[in-house]
């Protein structure tokens, strides 16, 4: 970081040197002519007049050097911030956590179903069956060794010259059913950059609406995206599930009597970044009553294409859905809070202009006061002000974006003390302009107010109202 600023300083000074070398002959001729003219016109006091030009030349040099350096610093600071943001090693690993994508759980009814398949077999195929067995028909039939197959019955019936083959396969199947009510509470604690820690607690009620007992199965899929999930617990009625199944999901299976109901309570903590999504998964069934309340300790937004919340505040959002089918998802986005950083970079961009304005305002104000013009004082003031403005990116590492406010104010205060203490208020008002850029929504009105206040201060300045005691 420091090397970048030193390189910029050397580059600017090198540019000035090269330009001076390129213009050395014209400047030498011009300077010689000026010296000769002054000597011929003012033989007795030519040397004092030449000495009086030195502060003006030095002031121009300081102003140009400060202006050029301040213009370079914004690009240097932006590159530095981008390098920190993309560095492979960081002090905040949570900011690089994956996005969390949570699928809605599902509940199914396990029922016995019988499937029938009939094939019309020509005589030659019947002869092959007699020779090679029933396996000849395997390309046309389901695998009889499929899981959950209870029984299988094959039969043959002649139909003219052909033979009708019929297979009846009875198996245990899963029929998805909807939740009676779903309630999800999400608490998000924002961390550095785009990271967050989410605590989810969901309550899902389901029932057996048939007139006979059924075996039901509740499945809660883990959040996808490679997120770190901890402290996960699943409780259905009095049963507790502590380990995932072979598919990596947490599931419960049990018999629910006719008209009976169960409530599954799920809770976990996950660390992620950038966004959190909840997939409704309702393209096959209707959502009867679904509620999700998200409370966020920090800034959040909504990704495009997600379901709009029913209500929202600055720290929370609520979704309430009933009797709907949707392929959309609920989503929260946690963008990086770059308002302060962007305002800081805009403040850096305004430093060259403010640097010149502070000096101009100070000169105008002293003119309004009727004070004598002393270029030596303005030269010292320009040096002090340039150093204060150039200290902004250096102090950023210690006090953050506030450096764009405090350093110019300090420079304007010292400038007022060097030139005249009565100039300090007007100079400090102009020095507030870079700090006004830190406001993400009110920077424009703040700059207008600063300009009006500075104009009033200068307008009211006069030798009579500001006479020294």
Task: Provide the β-strand partners of residue 219.
Answer: 106, 251
pLDDT 10s digits, 353-367: 888 888 888 888 887
pLDDT 10s digits, 51-110: 666 777 777 777 777 777 777 767 777 776 666 666 555 555 545 678 888 888 988 888
371: which 2 tokens? 């004070």
The CA–CA distances, whole Å, from 405 to 28, 146, 150 equal: 42, 73, 78
User: What percentage of the chain reaches a pLDDT higher than 90?
Assistant: 12
Phi, psi of 203 (to 5 degrees): -125, 125
CA dihedral sign of residues 103, 105, 110, 113: negative
Q: How many whole angstroms separate alpha carbon 398 and alpha carbon 393?
A: 10
pLDDT 10s digits, 254-282: 888 988 889 999 999 988 888 899 988 76
Tell me the mean pLDDT per 10 residues along the chain, length 469.
Answer: 48 54 57 59 57 72 77 72 59 65 88 81 74 70 67 79 80 82 92 82 91 89 78 89 83 89 92 88 74 90 90 92 85 80 81 86 81 78 87 84 89 86 86 85 83 82 50
Task: Provide the β-strand partners of residue 296.
Answer: 188
pLDDT 10s digits, 155-172: 878 777 777 888 887 777
């Amino acid at each position: 970081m420091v090397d970048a600023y030193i390189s910029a300083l050397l580059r600017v000074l090198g540019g000035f040197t090269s330009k001076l070398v390129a213009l050395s002959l014209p400047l030498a001729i011009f300077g010689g002519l000026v010296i000769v003219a002054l000597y011929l016109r003012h033989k007795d006091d030519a040397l004092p007049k030449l000495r009086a030009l030195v502060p003006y030349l030095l002031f121009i040099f300081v102003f140009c050097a400060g202006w050029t350096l301040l213009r370079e610093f914004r690009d240097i600071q932006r590159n530095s911030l981008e390098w920190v943001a993309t560095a492979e090693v960081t002090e905040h690993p949570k900011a690089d956590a994956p996005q969390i994508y949570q699928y809605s759980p599902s509940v199914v009814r396990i029922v016995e179903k019988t499937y029938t398949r009939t094939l019309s077999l020509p005589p030659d195929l019947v002869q092959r069956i007699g020779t090679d067995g029933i396996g000849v028909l395997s390309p046309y039939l389901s695998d009889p060794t499929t899981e959950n197959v209870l029984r299988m019955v094959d039969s043959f019936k002649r139909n003219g010259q052909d033979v009708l083959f019929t297979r009846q396969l009875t198996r245990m199947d899963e029929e998805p059913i909807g939740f009676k009510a779903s309630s999800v509470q999400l608490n998000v604690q924002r961390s550095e950059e785009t990271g967050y820690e989410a605590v989810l607690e969901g309550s899902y009620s389901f029932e057996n609406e048939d007139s006979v007992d059924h075996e039901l199965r509740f499945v809660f899929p883990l959040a996808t995206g490679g997120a770190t999930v901890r402290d996960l617990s699943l409780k259905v009625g009095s049963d507790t599930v502590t380990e995932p199944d072979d598919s990596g999901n947490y599931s419960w299976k049990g018999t629910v009597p006719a008209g009976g109901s169960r409530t599954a309570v799920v809770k976990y903590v996950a660390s992620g970044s950038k966004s959190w999504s909840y997939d409704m998964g309702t393209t096959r069934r209707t959502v009867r009553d679904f509620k999700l309340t998200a409370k966020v300790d920090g800034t959040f937004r909504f990704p495009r294409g997600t379901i709009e919340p029913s209500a929202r505040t600055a720290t929370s959002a609520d979704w309430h859905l009933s009797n709907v089918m949707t392929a959309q998802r609920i989503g929260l986005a946690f963008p990086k809070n770059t308002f302060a950083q962007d305002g800081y970079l805009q403040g850096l961009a305004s430093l060259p202009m403010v640097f010149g304005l502070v000096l101009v305002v100070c000169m105008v104000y002293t003119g309004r006061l009727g004070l004598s013009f002393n270029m030596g004082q303005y030269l010292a003031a320009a040096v002090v002000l340039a150093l204060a403005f150039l200290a902004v990116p250096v102090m950023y590492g210690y006090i953050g974006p506030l450096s764009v406010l405090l350093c110019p104010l300090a420079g304007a205060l010292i400038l007022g003390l060097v030139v005249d203490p009565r100039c300090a208020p007007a100079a400090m008002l102009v020095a507030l302009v870079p700090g006004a850029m830190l406001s993400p929504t009110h920077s424009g009105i703040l700059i207008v107010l600063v300009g009006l206040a500075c104009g009033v201060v200068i307008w009211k300045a006069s030798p009579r109202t500001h006479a020294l005691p």
